Amino acid sequence: MPDNKSTWDWAVLRGDVWQQYGKAVVAALHYLPSSFDCPPCNIAEKLTSGYKAWEFLLYLYGLGLGLLYGILPERFFLNYCKLVLGIRLMNQHRITEANVREAHLVLLSFAHEFETIYCQCKQTRIHFVCPCMHSLVHLPCKVLRIGPPICSSQWTLEQTIGNLGKEIKQHSNLFANLSQRRIRRTCVNALMAIIPDIEGNQKSGGDIPQGSKDLQDRYVLLCTRDKHLERLQECKVYALERFLSMSNMDSVSVCRWARLRILTSQICYSAWKEWQKPLEKHCTACNVKVCHLFLLAVFFMPIITTPLDTF
């Protein structure tokens, strides 16, 4: 007896709902931090043609949770949440032992439940259980054996293929060309390893962009900044007073900076400049996490703390 698709109660993304859904994915674009590389495009249009692994990742384990809530029937949604939790834990660069345990439980439970609610022990549906479902179950144990999966993933190779592919200059004879490119890359890398100074000069200038201010510890303030001192609003003066444990600062004028590069090389933007642009033109990067608190960066300014006795 063939499987009838109308009995698939989880198949909710059809017709109009699917189109709407694709639009929602695109609309979410402007709320993603700019450090997230390219944001997912319309999944309804591009699913079968060149949707990238990174987009899938971002979409399924990032956006999907919010977008599918309310659309997917509850028990399927809960099952999906388990997958998201498991994969998010496994994709971390640092995985604690507690994480491994949790991911192990949650992924096992996901795999089991997946078969119960989707396949329902029907012979015609066993093909839902694709090979990757099984690999998923092994994932947490592998962390104990060979470290985080991200360390042994294919990203590096794909990246190498990508940047070698871009170097192809002779499209009529591409395999020979690629082969030569590869040899040249190897020679250059070896040379750079032997004489690191070859690339040195270029790098020292490029590390800190012009007009920026180095704050040490790999924090760098980046342009744009105020040319003249700007007077702060009262509420901000109050915040500053509390931060510096001072009182009665009447009027304060500061030079605001728009962007800050932090030690992870990510660049935070500030709301001051970002909000001047229309939403379509930027990706949101002014939400920052400081000591487990999520904050909105309004602007940046350097504060030089001078020991009191010098006054």
Report 85-114 residues binding another protein (CB under 8 A): 87, 90-91, 93-97, 100, 108, 111-112
Q: How far is the CB of 235 from another protein (least distance, A)?
A: 40
Give the number of residues in contact with another protein, rule: CB under 8 A. 93
Task: Out of 46, 142, 213, 256, name the contact with another protein by CB under 8 A.
Answer: 142
Tokens of 285: 């990067």
Nearer to another protein, 76 or 257 (CB): 76
Nearest CB to another protein, comparing residues 129 and 237: 129
Roughly how many angstroms between the first and final C-alpha of the chain, as a whole number? 88
- Rule CB under 8 A: choose which of 20, 153, 224, 276 binds another protein: 153
Q: How many Å apart are CA 112 and CA 133, to the nearest integer?
A: 10
CA distance 114 to 83: 10
Nearest CA among 35, 36, 40 for reference residue 259? 35
| Smallest separation, CB 292 to another protein (Å) | 18
CB 143 within 8 A of CB 95: yes
Helices 131-146 and 97-114 meet at what angle, rounded to 10? 170
Taking CB under 8 A as the rule, does residue 38 contact another protein?
Answer: no
Site for another protein in 193-252 (CB under 8 A): 193-196
Smallest gap from Cβ 34 to another protein, in A, equals 22
Judged by CB under 8 A, the stretch of 49-57, 228-236, 241-249, 275-283 that binds another protein is 49-57
3-class state of residue 224 by DSSP: strand
Nearer to another protein by C-beta: 20 or 153?
Answer: 153
CB of 97 closer than 8 Å to CB of 59: no
CA angle, 288 then 291 then 293, to 5°: 55
Q: Smallest distance from the beta carbon of 301 to another protein, in angstroms?
A: 30
Tell me, letter by letter, the H, E, C secondary structure of 217-281: CCCEEEEEECCCCEECCHHHHHHHHHHHCCCCCCCCEECCEEEEECCCCCEEECHHHHCCCCHHH
Q: Which stretch binds another protein (CB under 8 A): 33-41, 178-186, 206-214, 272-280?
A: 178-186
> Is the bond preceding 264 in cis, omega lying within 30 degrees of 0?
no
Q: How far apart are CA 290 and CA 246, in angstroms?
A: 22
> Which 8-state DSSP code applies to residue 189?
H
For the segment 53-72, give every residue that binds another protein (CB under 8 A): 53, 56-57, 59-61, 72
Residues 113-132 that bind another protein (CB under 8 A): 115-116, 118-119, 121-132
Among 20, 35, 152, 170, binds another protein (CB under 8 A): 152
Q: Which of these ranges, 25-33, 169-177, 273-281, 299-307, lies near another protein under the rule CB under 8 A? A: 169-177
CB of 151 to another protein, least distance (A): 5
| Cβ within 8 Å of residue 224, ≥6 positions away | 257, 258, 259, 273
- The residue among 185 and 236 lying less far from another protein, judged by its C-beta, is 185
